[in-house]
Amino acid sequence: MVDKQLQLVIVTPERTVFDEPASALRFPLFDGQIGILPGRAPLVGRLGYGELKVTNASGSEKSFFIDGGFVQVKGPVVSILTARAIPTAEVKRSDAEEALKKATALPGTTEQQAATKAREIERARRLLTLAH
């Protein structure tokens, strides 16, 4: 029997941000987007940076910026463990622009510094695309 709904749980180090039923999900993995529907085979994956779209049974959507982490799909439960989960309505353009400015100012002379700088720029750009 296939479950008709998912139960999405979003957890950050500070708190549980979201724990509600959903009918469909879409979010970034480190290597591309993935969509999850009820009945999905079990999965563990590494998250990327970007938008998590949650569709509920009535068809309305909620959206969050997720900041990397991990996802586990086990039965109808989808657990997202992330450093940050910000409702997109709360993402401010000025904060995102400031994050991008700080990221571009990071040093990039060593290989490790360059990788960190690239990662921070990517995170800030993804945040900026969701800013209001």
Tell me, what's the pLDDT at 3? 65
Residues 6+ apart with CB under 8 A from 126: 28, 49, 50, 51, 65
Superfamily, domain 6-88? F0F1 ATP synthase delta/epsilon subunit, N-terminal (2.60.15.10)
Residue whose C-alpha is closest to residue 66's, from 88, 81, 44, 51:
51
pTM of structure = 0.86
- The mean per-residue pLDDT over the stretch 103-121 comes to 92
pLDDT in tens, 68-87: 999 999 999 999 999 999 99
